[in-house]
Amino acid sequence: MEVWTERPGDGALCGLISGEIGWLMSLRAPGDAGFSSRNPVYAGPHDALIEDWLDNGQRDRSPASGAADTATIVRALREFLETGAGPSGVAWHDDAGTR
């Protein structure tokens, strides 16, 4: 399941949920490479992927090292929607490599 939350001036946060786990992507503006979530306690294979299905039917894969439980993903989406701030307690990877 693909869930987007957007706030004018604050960008957008996307949650991809697959069963009991999910992954987050934060975008500052349209076209931004953005940030993706990371799980600092992930201990699985470096190249493991999670399969997600986007709303347009496209199959996508995201790093298993970025997965969190569904409750964490839902909390992060709500927090962003309510405050516009990056969700607390989420580790981020800069997908553009700018920081």
pLDDT of residue 97: 79
CB-based contacts of 37, cutoff 8 Å, min separation 6: 23, 24, 25, 66, 67, 68, 76, 90, 91, 92, 93
Residue 23 lies in a domain: yes
Establish if 99 belongs to a structural domain.
no
Give 89's pLDDT tier (boundaries 50, 70, 90). confident
The number of domains in the chain is 1
Residue 57: inside a domain: yes
Of 37, 40, 42, 12, nearest to 27 by C-alpha is 12
pLDDT at 99: 56
The confidence score (pLDDT) of residue 13 equals: 95
pTM, two decimals, is 0.86
* 80: containing domain: 2-94
Measured over all CA atoms, what is the biggest interatomic distance in the chain, rounded to whole angstroms?
Answer: 38
pLDDT above 90 as % of the chain: 58
CA distance 23 to 72: 9
State the chain's mean pLDDT as an integer.
89
